[in-house]
């Protein structure tokens, strides 16, 4: 495969590492057991010290919290659980003061059923806001579309007020907005402007691919969903991009485009006038295999070689954590991968601590979709010093803290040169200091079985990344022979020759 073109890192988000804060679980300032904006503001230095360039905050808006903020009742206010608009302004100001950008979550596909728009829409069939949501009459659901949550739950609920069905791709408390209605698009653009004027640097766009649906509401076909990724989605995302471009300062649109077929994902970032970035979720569903990882990366490199910047991730608030999926050693190898590939890596709070999912007792389960374990609070200090809330909260945390918070706490790991936190800090520091790693070309290299190796190159300086997916030692790729300097290993004590079991290495080649 020929080298991918070298893209100049002229926009901040290309060289950035972006860190997701899940506000409920990051830091609690008022002792109610739920994280909040003041708490998060007080802990931003952790993100800066890690070496990330930006934070993305999961939703902070007024919400009944049926889906923990992804059900918005007022886009222009902060939920009292998280604080106030002033607290949001203070967070943005503090982040900027210490050199961090701030992305908010923008949720265009649906609102809460308690949003005043929906209250109006459901009130009568001739209400002016009726067309803002998707309504159909009939004895049965208009089609066979299934909601994302629950076991084969229809994506339609009949509302008793008018005896018609409304569409909800997620919970019944999350009615889908009708983007075929121009007034909806205009209203959502106004939401973007509200926050852009307050200084946010961009948005992560929730289910971005769902704001274009088959207007005829036809049933899905094998391999083709009619309720997302419809051609109309593209001009709508371009419209969002144009709103961002009304403002100076390289504001960025990052789509949550949950399409595992990379041929369908690529067009969201290759045209140059839609999303700047779209999360690529392929890794989240792959078996631990060097061939499989290499194949998907090579495919996406090929698909984006004429433009398009990848956005890799391994974790977020919707998925089991890598340390649970792969185990601690392999989670480091995986982190080395996403932080050295061409593209913008997204980290989820706590992965830099090697957090595993936290078992939730049956009496404590709160999420509708089994996502509590990856949302457990951040342990900032060991419970022996800070009490059972581990520095996250002085009250009872809304989800249990990690049972090994004593050793996993940030303050403990910061003092330990062999900790996962120290490893992540070194990895991000190396990435920032090495143009080949953040801006160079990508080329896969021939490697022994179980080893995935690739070259990153910038202005003649070459860096080789070699990742051993096997639980036993493997030779280094032949191209490593000219390696002059080991820049970083996932292992505290790497050997000279072979890659150890579950080891990843970054090696500087040549004289560069």
190: CB partners within 8 A, 6+ apart:
none
CA angle at 443 for the pair 349 and 331, rounded to the nearest 5°: 30
Which of 70, 132, 398, 442 is in the footprint of ligand NOJ by CB under 6 A?
70
Closest distance of CB 357 from ligand NOJ, Å: 16
36 binds ligand NOJ (CB under 6 A): no
Q: Strand 135-136's sheet: what is its strand order?
A: 135-136, 164-167, 156-159
229 binds ligand NOJ (CB under 6 A): no
207 binds ligand NOJ (CB under 6 A): yes
E strands, 219-332, in order: 252-255, 277-280, 311-312
Residue from 71, 79, 113, 206 carrying the catalytic annotation:
206
503: left (phi over 0), alpha (psi -120 to 50) or beta: beta
457 binds ligand NOJ (CB under 6 A): no
Q: Would you tell me how many other CB atoms lie within 10 Å of the CB of residue 225?
A: 17
206 binds ligand NOJ (CB under 6 A): yes
60: CB partners within 8 A, 6+ apart:
23, 37, 69, 78, 79, 82, 83, 88, 104, 105
CA distance 316 to 19: 10
In the bound state with ligand NOJ, the residue whose beta carbon lies nearer, of 70 and 392, is 70
SS3 content of the chain, % helix, strand, coil (to 5): 30, 20, 50
Closest distance of CB 168 from ligand NOJ, Å: 10
281 binds ligand NOJ (CB under 6 A): no
Pairing of strands 451-458, 61-62: unpaired
203 binds ligand NOJ (CB under 6 A): no
Q: For residue 206, indicate whether it is catalytic.
A: yes
How many residues bind to ligand NOJ according to rule CB under 6 A? 9
Which of 181, 318, 404, 498 is in the footprint of ligand NOJ by CB under 6 A?
318
In the bound state with ligand NOJ, the residue whose beta carbon lies nearer, of 70 and 145, is 70
393: CB partners within 8 A, 6+ apart:
28, 31, 32, 33, 34, 35, 377
118 binds ligand NOJ (CB under 6 A): no
165 binds ligand NOJ (CB under 6 A): no
Q: How far is CA 385 from the centre of its chain?
A: 32
The DSSP element (H or E) to which 56 belongs, if any, is: strand 54-57
In the bound state with ligand NOJ, the residue whose beta carbon lies nearer, of 63 and 489, is 63
Closest distance of CB 10 from ligand NOJ, Å: 30
Which of 170, 179, 380, 469 is in the footprint of ligand NOJ by CB under 6 A?
170
Tokens of 399: 């989800």
Binding letters toward ligand NOJ, positions 252-271, x by CB under 6 A: ----x---------------
CB 452 within 8 A of CB 469: yes
Q: For residue 246, indicate whether it is catalytic.
A: yes
CB 264 within 8 A of CB 229: yes
Closest residue to ligand NOJ: CB criterion: 70
Closest distance of CB 222 from ligand NOJ, Å: 24
In the bound state with ligand NOJ, the residue whose beta carbon lies nearer, of 107 and 509, is 107
Q: Identify the bridge partners of residue 384 per DSSP, sorted by sequence position.
A: none
In the bound state with ligand NOJ, the residue whose beta carbon lies nearer, of 207 and 399, is 207
DSSP state of 401: P
DSSP state of 254: E
67 binds ligand NOJ (CB under 6 A): yes
Closest distance of CB 448 from ligand NOJ, Å: 38
In the bound state with ligand NOJ, the residue whose beta carbon lies nearer, of 159 and 206, is 206
In the bound state with ligand NOJ, the residue whose beta carbon lies nearer, of 32 and 318, is 318
Tokens of 474: 């493997």
Closest distance of CB 173 from ligand NOJ, Å: 11
In the bound state with ligand NOJ, the residue whose beta carbon lies nearer, of 227 and 462, is 227
CB 34 within 8 A of CB 81: yes
22 binds ligand NOJ (CB under 6 A): no
CA distance 231 to 246: 25
372 binds ligand NOJ (CB under 6 A): no
Closest distance of CB 446 from ligand NOJ, Å: 38
CB 147 within 8 A of CB 167: no
Residue from 3, 86, 245, 246 carrying the catalytic annotation:
246
- Interaction site with ligand NOJ (CB under 6 A): 67, 70, 107, 170, 206-207, 256, 317-318
Catalytic sites, residue numbers? 206, 246
């Amino acid at each position: 495969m020929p080298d991918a073109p070298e893209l100049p890192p002229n926009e901040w988000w290309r060289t950035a590492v972006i860190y997701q804060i899940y506000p409920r679980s990051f830091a609690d300032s008022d002792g109610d057991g739920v994280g909040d904006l003041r708490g998060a503001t007080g802990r931003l230095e952790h993100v800066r010290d890690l070496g990330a360039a930006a934070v993305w905050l999961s939703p902070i808006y007024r919400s009944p919290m049926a889906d923990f903020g992804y059900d918005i009742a007022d886009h222009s206010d902060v939920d009292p659980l998280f604080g106030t608009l002033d607290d949001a302004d203070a967070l943005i100001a503090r982040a900027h003061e210490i050199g961090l950008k701030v992305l908010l979550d923008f949720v265009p596909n649906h609102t809460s059923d308690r949003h005043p728009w929906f209250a109006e829409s459901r009130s009568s069939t001739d209400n002016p806001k009726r067309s803002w949501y998707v309504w159909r009459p009939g004895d049965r659901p208009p089609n066979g579309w299934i909601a994302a949550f629950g076991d084969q739950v229809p994506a339609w609920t009949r509302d008793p007020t008018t005896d018609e069905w409304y569409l909800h791709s997620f919970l019944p408390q999350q009615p889908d907005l009708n983007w075929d209605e121009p007034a909806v698009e205009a209203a959502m653009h106004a939401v973007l402007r509200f926050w852009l004027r307050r200084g946010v640097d961009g948005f992560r766009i929730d289910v971005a691919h769902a704001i274009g649906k088959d207007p005829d509401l036809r049933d899905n076909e094998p391999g083709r969903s009619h309720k997302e990724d419809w051609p109309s989605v593209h001009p709508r995302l371009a419209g969002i991009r144009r709103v961002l471009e009304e403002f100076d300062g390289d504001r960025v649109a990052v789509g949550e485009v949950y399409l595992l077929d990379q041929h369908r994902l690529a067009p969201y970032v290759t045209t140059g006038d839609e999303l700047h970035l779209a999360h690529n979720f392929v890794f989240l569903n792959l078996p631990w295999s060097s061939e499989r990882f290499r194949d998907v990366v090579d495919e996406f490199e090929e698909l984006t070689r004429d433009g398009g910047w990848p956005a890799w991730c391994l974790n977020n608030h919707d998925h089991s954590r890598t340390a649970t999926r792969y185990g601690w050693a392999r989670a480091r190898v995986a982190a080395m991968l996403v932080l050295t590939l061409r593209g913008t890596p997204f980290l989820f709070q706590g992965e830099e601590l090697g957090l595993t999912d936290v078992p939730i007792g049956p009496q404590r389960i709160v999420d509708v979709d089994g996502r509590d374990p990856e949302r457990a609070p951040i342990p900032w200090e060991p419970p022996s010093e800070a009490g059972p809330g581990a520095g996250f909260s002085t009250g009872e945390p809304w989800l249990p803290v990690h049972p090994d918070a004593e050793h996993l706490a940030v303050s403990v790991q910061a003092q330990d040169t062999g900790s996962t936190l120290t490893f992540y800090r070194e990895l991000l520091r190396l990435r920032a200091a090495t143009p080949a790693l953040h801006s160079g070309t990508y080329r896969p290299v021939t490697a022994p079985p179980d080893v995935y190796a690739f070259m990153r190159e910038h202005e003649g300086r070459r860096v080789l990344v070699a990742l051993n997916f096997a639980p036993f030692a493997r030779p280094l790729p032949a191209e490593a022979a000219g390696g002059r300097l080991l820049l970083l290993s996932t292992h505290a004590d790497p050997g000279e020759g072979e890659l150890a079991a579950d080891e990843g290495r970054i090696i500087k080649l040549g004289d560069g």
